[in-house]
Structure 1
Amino acid sequence: MTIDENTDSDTGTDDPVEPALEFAAEPTDGRAVVLLSGGMDSATAAYAARDRGYELCCLHTTYGQRTEDREHDCARKLASELTASDFLRIETDHLAEIGASSLTDDGMALEDADTERDEIPSSYVPFRNANLLSMAVSYAEATDCETVVIGAHSEDFSGYPDCRPQFFEAFERLVAVGTKPGTEITIDAPFVDWSKTEIAEYGIDLGVPYEHTWSCYRENEPACGTCDACAYRLQAFQRIGVRDPIAYERRPSYTDG
């Protein structure tokens, strides 16, 4: 769906979605590394992990993305709200140096949203999740954490190949081979089969403070409302009839009707 109107409304005409399913895993008292970007998906994954009983070690990475300062601020606030036992920020510029993504290359234009796009968008950062998960697994192995939690979901892997279920399954096999004997670290992508709408609804039930999250690819304040990340986020809130609490320059309707 492309942008077709400019409105302040956050309420769509779609029927409310069914409540998202609860996690299948039993509650735990283990430790988890959460890849906490500062976005709504990673925030919801962190709150879900805490809800299951995990002690949280939050890993935030900056790699030259346009909104890295705002994302870092949000991640720190979330870690504080979550009473995480640790917050580690890793700054690396190698993904920006490699380039080929409109998130890190100022010479590339960020397209306006098209939620029906079939091709891989320009915002794809080549093999980013493998880089981030490698750092997270190192962190987990060094701190005796049993799992790495990432908030990737089904609408991500429709555009980003390193968000597919097969990728996480393969990466978990790599972890088993590449860590020291006796190490057991799982890769937990709890929302991999969920839509962003289901994540938003689940997060509202969990009490995720979405005012402390940031999704916009373009701007630090206010969010543009017209990039892919803003579109999927606004669409999710519009579908559940909840106003997104962050500020937007524009709030188009991304629901049918």
Structure 2
Amino acid sequence: MTDTVVVIYSGGMDSFTLLHRARAQGLNVHALSFNYGQRHVRELEVAAEVCRAEGIPHKVIDIRAMSDVMSGSALTSDIEVPEGHYEEDNMKATVVPNRNMILLSLATGYAVTVGAGAVWYGAHGGDHAIYPDCRPEFVEKMDAVCRVANYESVGIEAPFMTLDKGEILSEGLRLGLDYSQTWTCYNGREQACGRCGSCVERLEAFAANGISDPLAYESNV
């Protein structure tokens, strides 16, 4: 059993916490990020900064050439980013077609090349209502496929599957993490908007933990 894992690291608070959980468990971590033409590409910049500071091997794969098969989402196309809570139906506009199947498949190939036994990604309980590729049945089936897709068995794991964002933040705070080193907002502006579903959920997580978010938000929030 290898102690090496590939963590899909977007630069957001969930994958940031997951990255540090893996390190806290003594695992040899390879961080893997993807540029798929997302509006909030700033998340890749903060991901790179964290990995440089922590000495974590970090690869960014540019898959923008695949944009035609991942279009139609507010995150990748010229569609207005919806505002409000994740549970609201309009948040389905943020679903990127087949994103996690594509990313996990590529990450599995990378895991084979670096000798990793598993790929971790940050799907969590709060994602289930909107994102089909963050639900337990998807993880279970991807895990089964990726274990037989190569001569080397690679598992797919979502350690936060039963947690909500507030609980994930609680774990990160216990680890002493600095969440100013993350980016969550779906809008790629200088400051977080505070109104998109991702910002709303993030702010709720900080409120649930009784602390203020260290990120700067637009003044009209």
TM-score (norm 2): 0.94
Aligned counterpart, 1:55: 28
8 A Cα contact 1:215 1:229, kept in partner:
yes
* Pairwise CA distance, 1:177: 2.0
1:85-100 alignment, distance < 5 Å = 86-98=57-69, 99-100=71-72
1:165 pairs with 2:105: no
Counterpart of 1:174, as a letter, is V
Aligned-partner Cα distance in 1 for 2:160–2:29: 18
8 A Cα contact 1:120 1:160, kept in partner:
no
1:34-113 alignment, distance < 5 Å = 34-68=7-41, 70-84=42-56, 86-98=57-69, 99-106=71-78, 108-113=79-84
* Pairwise CA distance, 1:146: 1.1
1:223-242 alignment, distance < 5 Å = 223-242=192-211
Aligned counterpart, 1:156: 127
Change (3 A) 1:111 1:139: same
Change (3 A) 1:248 1:126: same
Aligned counterpart, 2:157: 188
Aligned-partner Cα distance in 2 for 1:186–1:177: 9
Aligned-partner Cα distance in 2 for 1:115–1:63: 22
Change (3 A) 1:150 1:251: farther
Aligned-partner Cα distance in 2 for 1:251–1:156: 27
8 A Cα contact 2:9 2:47, kept in partner:
yes
8 A Cα contact 1:31 1:54, kept in partner:
yes
**Larger proportion of helix:** 2
Aligned-partner Cα distance in 1 for 2:74–2:87: 19
- Give the unaligned 5+ runs of structure 2: none
Aligned-partner Cα distance in 1 for 2:29–2:218: 34
* Pairwise CA distance, 1:71: 1.0
* Pairwise CA distance, 1:96: 2.9
TM-score (norm 1): 0.81
SS at structure 2 position matched to 1:100: coil
Counterpart of 2:80, as a letter, is A
SS at structure 2 position matched to 1:121: helix
8 A Cα contact 2:184 2:199, kept in partner:
yes
SS at structure 1 position matched to 2:191: coil
Change (3 A) 1:230 1:120: closer
Counterpart of 1:128, as a letter, is R
SS at structure 2 position matched to 1:122: helix
User: What is the total number of aligned residue pairs between the two structures?
Assistant: 220
8 A Cα contact 1:29 1:55, kept in partner:
no
Larger Rg: 1
Aligned counterpart, 2:116: 145
Change (3 A) 1:80 1:251: farther
1:195-234 alignment, distance < 5 Å = 195-234=164-203
Aligned counterpart, 1:134: 105
Segments ≥4 residues shifted beyond 6 Å? none
SS at structure 1 position matched to 2:30: strand
Aligned counterpart, 1:3: none
Q: CA RMSD in A?
A: 1.7
8 A Cα contact 1:225 1:250, kept in partner:
no
8 A Cα contact 1:38 1:71, kept in partner:
yes
* Pairwise CA distance, 1:184: 2.4
- Aligned-residue sequence identity (percent) comes to 37
